[in-house]
């Protein structure tokens, strides 16, 4: 259902557009005519029926009311729209506005179109609220590293479960394969085999050397693709390898803790040609699941849902009940123990009603 807010400035023309940047306190919206507006939302719009820290998300289609117009001077225009190739840069090294585009000024968001899907997680600071990572995406590349840093399997499973719940197709992209030691190669093969057997496409790449990157580029054509993952997995480096003109900032991982540092500070959408967009989001350190009922969690683990059809009890939680086909499958190794443990941890999320990190 579309979310509406009535304004007193009803005499202003309402405009439709796409949210291409979310800084946490303001939103950059590209209108259907190609103008770029800096928009905000009213305070009571934030809380009316919405239990999220960001009621407006990157990728949302919105209606807004502009209240000033200006044109940025520019000798020429090259490149696309949205947040694209030839742009001025801000103090963070990111790209606030396509050079030469007509800047529509400021605006106030008044409504959000129905979303076809979204990725959501529980807010790390407000346990009763959630955070929408992105909306209206065609697919997601979840960037994973086996080393430097190691992406926990439980993080992967939590992300995949949330994506299943909100109908977002996910491809697992294993980056930094050039850094994997011989002793870890078997582990990489095993992890990829696990998820491909379940039904998730997997790709092996090195954003640094370029191995496997061209195959990813072909998949981005004509689609809106979310890139997500833990901090330090190389999302910004991958984007720079795919599209060098974007010049995103990168940083090394922390030597002390072998964890990533945030280089992307807010969510941003970039046009990449042939009707395609990529959404770059800040790295995620934990993934708390949100608004999943206990009896629904198993539905979002493909293999657990498959075997649950043979459980004696229709309301089996797969934790203690007799003649549980899921636990029998775990004992036979038809279901990976890591996946089953991730399922159990999500049941605890629901029971405790609080945020739990992805360890």
Chain centre distance of CA 275: 19
DSSP letter string, 293-336: -GGGGGGGSHHHHHHHTT-SSTT--SSS-TT-HHHHHHHTTSS-
Q: In 3D, which of 92, 121, 140, 51 has the Cα closest to residue 266?
A: 92
87 close to 19: Cβ distance less than 8 angstroms: no
pLDDT for the residue numbered 279 = 94
pLDDT for the residue numbered 202 = 98
86 close to 95: Cβ distance less than 8 angstroms: no
Quickly count: other Cβ atoms within 10 Å of residue 127's Cβ.
15
Alpha helices in the chain (DSSP H): 43-47, 153-165, 182-198, 213-220, 235-242, 302-308, 325-331, 337-352
pLDDT for the residue numbered 87 = 40
CATH code linked to domain 294-352: 1.10.40.50
pLDDT for the residue numbered 127 = 55
Q: How far is CA 236 from CA 97, 142, 165, in A?
A: 19, 13, 27
pLDDT for the residue numbered 219 = 92
pLDDT for the residue numbered 98 = 39
Task: Please give the radius of gyration of the chain, using alpha carbons only, rounded to the nearest integer.
Answer: 22
Q: In 3D, which of 235, 50, 226 has the Cα closest to residue 131?
A: 50
Mean pLDDT by 10 residues, the chain (359 residues): 41 85 88 92 61 82 78 35 40 39 76 91 61 92 95 94 93 96 93 98 96 93 93 91 82 44 68 88 68 87 97 95 97 97 87 39
How many whole angstroms separate alpha carbon 116 and alpha carbon 28?
A: 21
pTM assigned to the model: 0.80
Which CATH superfamily includes the segment(s) 118-280? P-loop containing nucleotide triphosphate hydrolases (3.40.50.300)
How many whole angstroms separate alpha carbon 155 and alpha carbon 251?
A: 22
**Domain map of the chain by residue range?**
3-112, 118-280, 294-352
Q: In 3D, which of 331, 322, 357, 302 has the Cα closest to residue 154?
A: 357
pLDDT for the residue numbered 342 = 95
pLDDT for the residue numbered 194 = 98
CATH code linked to domain 3-112: 2.40.50.140
Residues 74-106 as b/e (b if ≥16 CB within 10 A, e otherwise) read eeeeebbbbbbbbbeeeeeebbbbbbbbbbbbb
How many whole angstroms separate alpha carbon 281 and alpha carbon 136?
A: 15
How many whole angstroms separate alpha carbon 142 and alpha carbon 159?
A: 8
């Amino acid at each position: 259902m579309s979310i509406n807010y009535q304004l007193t400035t009803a005499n202003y023309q309402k405009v439709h557009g796409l949210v291409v940047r979310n800084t946490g306190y303001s939103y950059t919206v590209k209108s259907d005519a190609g103008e770029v507006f800096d928009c905000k939302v009213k305070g009571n719009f934030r809380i009316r029926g919405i239990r999220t820290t960001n009621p407006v998300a990157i990728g949302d289609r919105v209606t807004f009311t502009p209240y000033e117009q200006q044109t940025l001077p520019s000798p020429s225009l090259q490149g696309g729209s949205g947040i694209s190739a030839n742009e001025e840069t801000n103090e963070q090294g990111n790209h606030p506005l396509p050079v030469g585009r007509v800047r529509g000024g400021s605006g106030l968001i008044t409504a959000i179109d129905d979303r076809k899907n979204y990725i959501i997680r529980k807010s790390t600071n407000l346990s009763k609220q959630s955070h929408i990572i992105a909306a209206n995406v065609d697919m997601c590349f979840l960037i994973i590293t086996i080393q430097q840093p190691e992406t926990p399997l439980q993080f992967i499973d939590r992300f995949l479960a949330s994506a299943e719940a909100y109908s977002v197709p996910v491809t697992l992209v294993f980056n930094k394969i050039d850094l994997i030691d011989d002793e870890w190669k078997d582990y990489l093969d095993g992890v990829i085999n696990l998820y491909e057997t379940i039904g998730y496409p997997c790709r092996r790449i090195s954003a640094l050397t370029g191995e496997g990157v061209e195959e990813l580029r072909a998949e981005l054509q004509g689609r809106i693709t979310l890139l997500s993952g833990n901090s330090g997995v190389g999302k910004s480096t991958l984007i720079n390898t795919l599209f060098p003109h974007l010049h995103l900032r990168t940083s090394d991982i922390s030597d002390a803790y072998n964890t990533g540092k945030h280089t992307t500070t807010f969510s941003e959408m970039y046009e990449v040609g042939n009707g395609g967009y990529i959404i770059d989001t800040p790295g995620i350190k934990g993934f708390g699941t949100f608004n999943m009922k206990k009896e629904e969690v198993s539905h979002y683990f493909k293999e657990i849902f498959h075997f649950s059809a043979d459980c004696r009890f229709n309301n089996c939680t797969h934790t203690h009940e007799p003649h549980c086909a899921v636990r029998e499958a775990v004992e036979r190794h038809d279901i990976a123990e890591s996946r089953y443990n991730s399922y159990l941890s999500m049941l605890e999320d629901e029971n405790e009603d609080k945020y739990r990190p992805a360890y």
